[in-house]
Amino acid sequence: MNDTNPNAPQRAPDATSKPKLNRLFRLQFEPAQDAHVLLYPEGMVKLNQSAAQILLRCDGTRDIAAIVADLEQTFNATGLAPEVETFIAHAIERGWLEPSA
C-alpha cells in the first residue's frame, strides 16, 4: 500500500538544499494576530518573528547558506546558521517545508 519507505531516516538538509514551502501551506501576515501565520486546510499556526523571517526566504531558489547570509545581513547579525538549520529541519519534519527544489 506504500511505494516509499517513510521510516527511512530523513536526510538532514545540508547547506546546499533549497527548501520551499509545502504547497499545502500559505504564509501570510495577519494584522489581527500581529504576526505571520501558516494557513493550511482548516488550521493555522502562528509564527514567531524568526520563524516567519526564515520561512519567508524559503522560496525554492535559495540554498540554506544563502538564506543564512541574507538573514545575517538584514538583521546585522552573525552566527545564525545553527538556529536556521535547526528550524528548517523542524519545519521539514512538521511538513511545512519541502527539503529541496
Partner 1 sequence: MTDLSVAVQHAKADRAGIAPPLWLLAELTYRCPLHCAFCYNPVNYAEQRGELSTDEWLRVLREARALGAAQLGFSGGEPLLRDDLEVLVGEARKLGFYTNLITSGVGLTDKRLDALKENGLDHIQLSFQDSTQELNDFLSSTKTFDLKNRVARAIKAHDFPMVLNCVLHRYNLPHVDKIIDMALAMGAEYLELANTQYYGWAHQNRAQLMPTEAQLREAEAVVERYRKEIGNRCKIFFVVPDYYETRPKRCMNGWGSVFLGVAPDGAALPCHSARSLPGLTFPNVRDTPLADVWYESDAFNRFRGFDWMKEPCRSCDEKTHDLGGCRCQAYLLTQDPANADPVCDKSPHHEKVVRVVREAAQRGAALTADEQPVIFRNDANSRRLATEVTHKD
**Rounded distance, CA 64 to CA 93, Å?**
16
Report the SS3 class of residue 29.
Answer: strand
Burial class (CB in 10 A: 0-12, 13-18, 19+), 72: middle
Contact code string over 45-74 relative to partner 1, x by CB under 8 A: xx----------------------------
CB 68 to partner 1: min, Å? 25
DSSP 80: -
Is 9 near partner 1 (CB under 8 A)?
no
- Is 76 near partner 1 (CB under 8 A)? no
Part of the chain binding partner 1 (CB under 8 A), chosen from 4-12, 51-59, 65-73, 76-84: 4-12
With binding defined as CB under 8 A, does residue 37 bind partner 1? yes
User: What are the φ/ψ torsions at residue 72 (nearest 5 degrees)?
Assistant: -65, -35
- The answer to the question of residue 89 lying near partner 1 (CB under 8 A) is no
Closer residue to partner 1, CB minimum distance, 31 or 79: 31
- Nearest distance from C-beta of residue 92 to partner 1, angstroms: 9
Which value, to the nearest 10 degrees, does the dihedral of the CA atoms of residues 10, 44, 38, 11 take? 0
